[in-house]
Amino acid sequence: MFHKPEMMDALADYGPARYVIFGVPYDGTSSYRQGSRWAPDAMRQASANFETYNAYFDIDYGDLLIHDAGNLETYVTVNETLEELTLAVEPIVADGKLPIMLGGEHSLTLPCVKACAKYAGEDIGFVVLDAHFDLREEYSGVKYSHACVSRHVISEVTERYVSIGVRSGPREEWAFAKDKGIKYYTSDDVREKGIRDVISEVTDYLGCSKIYLSLDMDALDPAYAPGLGTPEPFGLSDIEVREVIHALAPRSIGFDIVEIAPEYDNGQSALLGTKLLREFIAAHAASERGL
């Protein structure tokens, strides 16, 4: 028998699926080191490690309608790739499914948030876990660089925005965030307040019932996730990130995991990313179970 990497428990056809997972193997604007193009398939391989039962939520993934659409065709330029991604993700959202994008780099988040906002029927919030502000207007002359995604989400989609885990950026970005009153929690803030207090502040601040959740894996400390394009020490723990996902998945209408670069470790970042993906789905499914 031949075998190609498949996401474990993503056995549903597209038609009945509630969750549609897809990979976007693009890392063309990555500023320090590339390699996140290999993450979607690395996560599919890592998924084979996990049991289909999640005891915390009493959820068996085998009972859920999860579809793996495969990987998007990508282009050399970021603009063409983002256009292709827009064409791919809009129908998924229009069909009432929850899109889960596996990057690739962080620039890929923007079309996914836009698609979710377009069909939400109300203002949505955006919560990003990231070591970096990503608040530049452009980076190295590229507007839609991975280093600019939060800036464009705020200016083009929603000002209901919170960043958690931030700890790196030039002086101008910190000043910009303070001047504009952008809501953010550094990883030190999280340690001082505790992640549960941060989460309840975030949900109060956003004041909306629908959010898009974006996980840039470098929000995590490199001790937990060393295989990254731009690793940054003193980050969040695996448990803190899991808390955020458990708390916010129920109100999420879209989710992504980006910036894993599997060549730079021995598989632990893809493994943790895949586990967090499964925690997201279980937390969301548990919240819909009672409906």
Q: Tell me how far, at minimum, the Cβ of 48 lies from Mn ion, in Å.
A: 27
Residue 97 interacts with Mn ion (CB under 5 A): yes or no: no
Binding window for Mn ion (CB under 5 A); candidates: 28-36, 122-130, 239-247, 265-273? 122-130
Binding window for Mn ion (CB under 5 A); candidates: 90-98, 99-107, 191-199, 249-257? 99-107
| Residues in region 196-235 near Mn ion by CB under 5 A | 216, 218
Which stretches within 158-237 are classed as H helix?
171-179, 187-193, 195-206
CB 246 within 8 A of CB 213: no
> What's the one-letter identity of residue 179?
D
Residue 167 interacts with Mn ion (CB under 5 A): yes or no: no
Q: Which two tokens stand for residue 18?
A: 């509630």
Q: Which C-beta is closer to Mn ion: that of 10 or that of 260?
A: 260
Q: Which C-beta is closer to Mn ion: that of 9 or that of 259?
A: 259
Residue 105 interacts with Mn ion (CB under 5 A): yes or no: no
Size of the site for Mn ion (CB under 5 A): 7
d(CA 94, CA 110): 17
Residue 130 interacts with Mn ion (CB under 5 A): yes or no: yes
Q: Tell me how far, at minimum, the Cβ of 4 lies from Mn ion, in Å.
A: 29
Residue 106 interacts with Mn ion (CB under 5 A): yes or no: yes
Pairing mode, if any, of strands 211-216 and 252-258?
A: parallel
Q: Tell me how far, at minimum, the Cβ of 260 lies from Mn ion, in Å.
A: 11
d(CA 142, CA 261): 21
Pairing mode, if any, of strands 66-71 and 125-129?
A: unpaired
String of DSSP letters for 38-100: GHHHHHHHHHTTS-SEETTTTEEGGGS-EEEEEE----SSHHHHHHHHHHHHHHHHHTT-EEE
Residue 9 interacts with Mn ion (CB under 5 A): yes or no: no
Residue 240 interacts with Mn ion (CB under 5 A): yes or no: no
The site string for Mn ion over 132-161 (x = CB under 5 A, - otherwise) reads: x-x---------------------------
To 5 degrees, how large is the angle CA 131–CA 70–CA 266?
50
Q: Which C-beta is closer to Mn ion: that of 26 or that of 61?
A: 26
Per CB under 5 A, residues contacting Mn ion are 106, 130-132, 134, 216, 218
